[in-house]
A and B are shown apart, each in its own frame.
Chain A
Amino acid sequence: MKLNLTKVVNGCRLGKIKNLGKTGDRTMDIPACLLYTKTGSAPHLTHQTLHTIHGVPAMAQLTLSSLAEHHEVLAEYKEGIGKFIGMPESLLYCSLHDPVSPCPAGYVTNKSVSVWGIGGRVEMTASKFMAIQQALQPDWFQCLSDGEASFEEAASIKRARKSVDRSLLFLDNCLRLQEESEVLQKSTVIGVIEGGDVMEERLRSARETAKRPVGGFLLDGFQGNPATLETRLYLLSSVTAELPEDKPRLICGVSRPDEVLECIERGVDIFESFFPYQVTERGCALTFSFDYQPNPEETLLQQNGTQEEIKYVDQTKKIKTTSCNQEMTSFEINLKEKKYQEDFDPLVRGCSCYCCKNHTRAYIHHLLVTNELLAGVLLMMHNFEHYFGFFHSIREALKSDRLAQLKELICRIVLDTSAFQLLTAAVSQKRLL
């Protein structure tokens, strides 16, 4: 595996990772996102519907939390998780946790880390962890690590230090076990940078992990709500400055378009794509524009569109779903709203996804109101395609030195979001009085 940087602009890295996969002939452009999956399948989508989507990433993300409990089955299967899930052609990265479902804290010890599946907790020592990876045979996998220093509000230096120590110990153990396994030689270990919010520990983690023969780095502990990422951005820059240029940097738990751009500016290459899934689960569709060089006519149309979305008065509901508990953003529209009942436009004009080419907002609205399964399928198809299109535009913008324009476009939407959320809160409060 080899990472070639084409250019670096304002800290943003544009490049190509070559020689990927079991046959060593796959490539991946960065910045990139990974296809988000649940139990080895894109949410709501079968192979057929997944492949109607344009721009599906070359690499999919699997989560150990959903697969660890199937260890025995996979060991008996012998042919690896890619074939088992019906995605033998895809590159696969296995993370520890699912970015959408937080796991309970307090289960990391000096000897083990736990993940939470449908059947409950699965505790893994380094050897059990590596045995599971041996059965999975992913292309890349996140090494066993202690990510809990970032859970607490004001984690102590002691806790931060422990997270780094433990993670390095796990890493060394896992690397040793990898050497002893022929099967695991074919997989790449991704080292995990820990250290909570303590600069010193973060730097130590970066430097020490970089000394080991890992194929890339996962920046853990930067996730949370938008506010927490803000405060950790300075940490992020310092960390990536310590990492070698020629290895990819992944980040977990960050998927919102504005946050993605902030992290790319600070040297991150690869992201998870769970944001479009969260949008889908609340019955919403991504509509934000990433067209940073529209023609003047389009600009006018889009401006009118943006005006439309800023109708705070009727959007007084906080949208909470059981799996996401996230608030709606200005990157999306809520198809459950009555105003879409007779709207025969596609979700996004000009979008080339299956849903926009074949169906209308009115139809999606009907499916949501009647609780039909197809709503999730069609929204997921659109939201993934829209999101993958966004990443494509990031790469194009970097290529043509127009990232500033793209960033401006996205920031304007975020300002709408914050203003919208502030106003929503204000209106709800007024209602309570």
Chain B
Amino acid sequence: MAAAVNPTSLESAPRIMRLVAECSRSRARAGELRLPHGPVATPVFMPVGTQATMKGITAEQLDALGCRICLGNTYHLGLRPGPELIQKAHGLHGFMNWPHNLLTDSGGFQMVSLVSLSEVTEEGVRFRSPYDGDETLLSPEKSVEIQNALGSDIIMQLDDVVSSTVTGPRVEEAMYRSIRWLDRCIAAHQRPDKQNLFAIIQGGLDADLRATCLEAVPSSRTEMTKRDVPGFAIGGLSGGESKGQFWRMVALSTSRLPKDKPRYLMGVGYATDLVVCVALGCDMFDCVFPTRTARFGSALVPTGNLQLKKKQYEKDFRPIDSNCTCPTCQKHSRAFLHALLHSDNTAALHHLTVHNIAYQLQLMSAVRASIVEKRFPDFVRDFMGTMYGDPTLCPTWATEALASVGITLR
């Protein structure tokens, strides 16, 4: 791949990102986001609390784990309890009593995940509510209006999302429409001083389309990076595409995105993917995986995961991870969690949710420290060694992706 030439943004958008350190080999960066509800160290993993709650753990527990930013979902919250009520409750922060930062997505992803209930036109997305059958139109204006009412620190543009497995003209249509919708979102945004609107780079798995979305094309007005936004998300990935295609689109995107603005890779959360994509130059991540898998009895560890419901853990009196500092690992054994998971006491799920969030946050902390201390490539090698037993057993796509930014695993 040719050496990346990162343009600096052409406008005076708010600079919310401060770079603290950069890896001299790869594209990894350590930084700090300056957001209305406090600073956030990057790279950062943002847990997903879809409906104004982090799935069974309290705001106090989440704060104690060191989380400083998490997600809410505009589609869900827009339906229940609705923006008017949340506004009365002093925004989403007030409603769920979360003192730190919130990022809301636009509702766009639900187009893909709830596609049987939706219809996309230039106007917006028409949804049929799964709860009462009512029809709602989610337009760029409506999405921003709801997010303004929610008051989240980072809001996302409404993008025309297509599944990464879709090919053909629909992908191109969606890419251009996303740019038009970005402009409509920027125009509709009532609170640019309080809420940071991020653009979302689309283009599916087509390098040309992605590049078009990103790159300067003299005669066209299609350059997303020229838009006056404080940050960029890389969207349309983390669906059913192959990992080989996935990493190439991430790398292409980061090579063309401005250095001085945060890069948010949406929907990425497996540990290996996080480490590789940090190497490729991403700063922010979100994924339901850690919290969802916890509710199925799966605990994340440096070597993968433990399916604690299985009989092999019945008499395992060790904690999930002896190096983990989370409350679950401080107090409980795998054997106890195994027994509790086989009961109907929901506490079992909460123990694992706490641990899995701690795992993700501790991982990001460790990644960041290694970048700051100029030993990120060694960290990556250690990480892969622990996860796969031997660096050479690391999945091919990851090895290739890392090699592309100068990190070898031998």
Contact = CB atoms under 8 A, between A and B. Distances in A.
Interface of A: 38-49, 52, 66, 70, 72-73, 76-77, 84-86, 118-119, 323, 341-342, 344, 354, 358-360, 362-363, 366-367, 369-370, 372-374, 376-378
20 contacts: A38-B343, A39-B343, A43-B345, A44-B346, A45-B347, A46-B351, A48-B327, A73-B335, A77-B315, A118-B342, A342-B85, A354-B60, A358-B59, A366-B80, A367-B51, A370-B76, A372-B51, A373-B55, A373-B346, A377-B58
A46 B340 CA distance: 11
A377 B350 contact: yes
A45 B344 CA distance: 12
B51 to A, nearest CB: 5
B349 A373 contact: yes
B257 to A, nearest CB: 35
A22 to B, nearest CB: 19
A341 to B, nearest CB: 7
Nearest to B80: A370
A43 B340 CA distance: 11
Contacts of A373: 53, 55-56, 346, 349-350
Contacts of A66: 343
Contact of A366 (B52, B327, B344): B52
B339 A46 contact: no
B397 interface: no
Given A77-B335, A369-B80, A47 B327 contact: yes
A342 B328 CA distance: 35
Given A84-B333, A367-B51, A374-B54, 9 more contacts: A40-B336, A43-B347, A49-B350, A76-B315, A354-B60, A362-B85, A373-B56, A374-B56, A377-B350
B328 A41 contact: no
A118 B331 CA distance: 24
B61 A359 contact: no
B55 A84 contact: no
Contacts of B333: 84
> Which of A358, A367, A373 lies at the interface centre, i.e. has the most chain B CB atoms within 10 A of its CB?
A373
Given A46-B327, A77-B317, A367 B332 contact: no
Contacts of B61: 46, 48-49
How many B residues touch the partner, as a band? Answer: 35 or more
A218 to B, nearest CB: 24
A342 B86 CA distance: 9
A376 B346 contact: yes
A364 to B, nearest CB: 11
B328 A46 contact: yes
B89 interface: yes
Interface string B340-377: 10111111111100100000000000000000000000
Contacts of B80: 366, 369-370
A84 B336 contact: yes
> Which of A66, A70, A323 lies at the interface centre, i.e. has the most chain B CB atoms within 10 A of its CB?
A70
Interface string B36-70: 00000000000000011111111111001000000
Contacts of B59: 358
A367 B52 CA distance: 8
Contacts of B55: 372-374
B35 interface: no
A118 B53 contact: no
A341 B333 CA distance: 40
A188 B325 CA distance: 37
B340 A39 contact: yes
Closest 5 CB pairs of A and B: A373-B56, A39-B343, A86-B331, A374-B53, A38-B345
Given A39-B339, A48-B327, A77-B335, A344 B350 contact: no
A43 B314 CA distance: 21
